[in-house]
Amino acid sequence: MVDETRENEWFAPKFGPARFRRLLGLTFFPYSLMNASYVLIGSLLAPSVHYDRMVGIALVYLLAVGVSAHSLDAMGPNKPWGSVLGRRQLMILALAGLIPALGLGLYYAVMFAPALLPLGLVELFFLLSYNLELFSGRFHTDFWFAVSWGFLPVLAGFVVQTNGLSWASLVAGLFGFTTAFVEINASRPYKALKKSTAGDSSQVAERLEAILKGIVTTVFAAVGFLILHSVFG
């Protein structure tokens, strides 16, 4: 067995000291950017796009998911990142991401889109229940992962622009759900394989890694297409 950390996953940097590699890997930055991309997709579907709101709500998700959710997730005994951060440090990091995310989200809800309030409360519930595995882990499933970090972010992006929903936003939400569902279903066995020496070079691990990279690329490509469409009509 290799050292039971996630340093050998495809997105973990191969340069720098171990603490740096593990700390950056802890953010799951490709998947965090993928999550923020769902917000951009929802915003860019709006009839009139306020780019300041789009960037702002994307930042909310980067802080809430990229920092807070993954910090809470790293506190679990079955999610090793070595001793890069202690439990107290992880909790401080989680709060450092969550507090400004809540403040910024509340600002957009009060000023522009009150419909964000119930959506934000649902996302906060999933952030805590999924990553801390509350309610006996009932919400720590692939389905709820795809709902909370794939479907709902698309809706949040649209709502911050329009204070409402549309059929187009719901269909785009299904795109977010599907890609997130594929990602988490590929990620779990991939992580298990990467824990073993044999898994590092296995064809199965390579195929799963290709799927993960392909899903991230697909979501980024969708954002790029929508940006071009928004700019050039």
SS3 73: helix
In angstroms, the CA 153 to CA 43 distance is: 10
d(Cα 18, Cα 36) in Å, to the nearest integer? 27
- Burial code (b: 16+ CB inside 10 Å, e: under 16) for 63-100 equals bbbbbbbbbbbbbeeeeebbebbeeeebeebbeebbeb
Q: How high is the pLDDT of residue 87?
A: 85
Q: What is the pLDDT of residues 151-186, one digit of tens each?
A: 999 999 999 999 999 999 999 999 999 999 999 999
Instruction: Write down the pLDDT at residue 14.
Output: 82
Could you tell me how far CA 198 lies from the centroid of its own chain?
29
Q: What are phi and psi of 74, to 5 degrees?
A: -70, -10
- E strand residue ranges, the chain: none
Query: Taking the C-alpha atoms of 33, 233, 159 and 130 in order, what is their torsion angle to the nearest 10 degrees?
Result: -20
pLDDT digits (tens, 9 = 90+) for 66-84: 999 999 988 876 665 666 7
**In the predicted model, what is the mean pLDDT of residues 55-60?**
97
Q: pLDDT at residue 198 above 60? A: no
Query: Is 71 in contact with 163 (CB distance < 8 Å)?
Result: no
- Reduced to 3 states (helix: H, G, I; strand: E, B; else coil), residue 81 is strand
